[in-house]
Amino acid sequence: EVQLVESGGGLVQAGGSLRLSCAASGFSFDDYVIGWFRQAPGKEREGLSCISGRDGTIVYGDPVKGRFTISSDNATNMVYLQMNSLEPEDTATYYCAAGSTYGCWLTLHLTSGDYWGQGTQVTVSS
């Protein structure tokens, strides 16, 4: 059974940091790209960052460049999103997703994924 489980969300003050984790199981990490997405109430889902299990390619969306860092541990099928300099506008539910159809750039821009986690809430107070 394929599973993606996010954790690490919470409440943080503006300027603070959080580290999100995505535990992936039930599929071969090397065959997929793993992306981080978010969705705020009333807004469309937004692609943030992606890492390829195939070749390590990393892509960032414009809203998070320079503030967020994605990393992975292929041995344990974990993907992390280190989020620094958080702003109230970063408040959203954050999801990780695994995709096999596209590379990272299209996965982010099409907000595409074959499998999705349940999400973890991030709230940034001003």
pLDDT digits (tens, 9 = 90+) for 77-109: 999 999 999 999 999 999 999 999 899 988 888
Q: How far is CA 50 from the centre of its chain?
A: 7
pLDDT recorded at residue 75: 87
pLDDT recorded at residue 74: 85
Confidence at 41, pLDDT banded by 50, 70, 90: very high
Confidence at 30, pLDDT banded by 50, 70, 90: confident
Nearest CA to 21 out of 94, 75, 88 is that of 94
